[in-house]
Amino acid sequence: LVQSLYMQALLQLGAANEPGQPSRVDILGARQTIDMLTVIGEKTKGNLTDAEDKLTQSALFEVRMAFLDMTQALARQAAQKGAPGAPGASGGPSIVR
C-alpha cells in the first residue's frame, strides 16, 4: 500500500510524462496522497517492523521533498509569467487542477 501511494504521489507530481510533452501536475491530488501516507505512518506507529517503518518514512520524506520542489518550481514559473517583460516559462510543468 505504501509503495502504491508513493508511486501515485510521484506521478501526480509529474514524475512521468510522455516524451516531448510537458509534465502534468495534480498538486491537490499529490497533497491528498501525501496526507494519506502520513495518516498511515501515524496509525501504524509502533506496529511495523524496522524495514516497514523505514520504507514508510523514506517514502514520506521523498514525496514531501518532491512536493516542495514542485511547488517552488510552480511559484517561480508564476513569478516569471507575472513579471513585466519577463519571458514565459514554456515547457515547464502545468497544473491539472
Position 56 confidence tier, pLDDT thresholds 50, 70, 90: very high
Residue position matching grid coordinates 516569471: 80
Indicate the residue type of 3.
Answer: Q
Do the Cβ atoms of 65 and 71 come closer than 8 Å? no
First-to-last C-alpha distance (Å) of the chain: 25
Task: Indicate the residue type of 23.
Answer: S
C-beta separation of 13 from 37 below 8 A:
no
Give yes or no for residue 7 having a pLDDT over 80: yes
Q: How sure is the predictor about 67, in pLDDT bands with cuts at 50, 70 and 90?
A: very high
Cα torsion 25, 34, 64, 15 to 10°: value is -30
Kindly report the backbone phi and psi dihedral angles of residue 71, in degrees, each rounded to the nearest multiple of 5, phi listed first: -65, -35
Among 12-26, 34-48, 67-81, where is mean pLDDT lowest? 12-26
- Cell 495518516 locates to 39
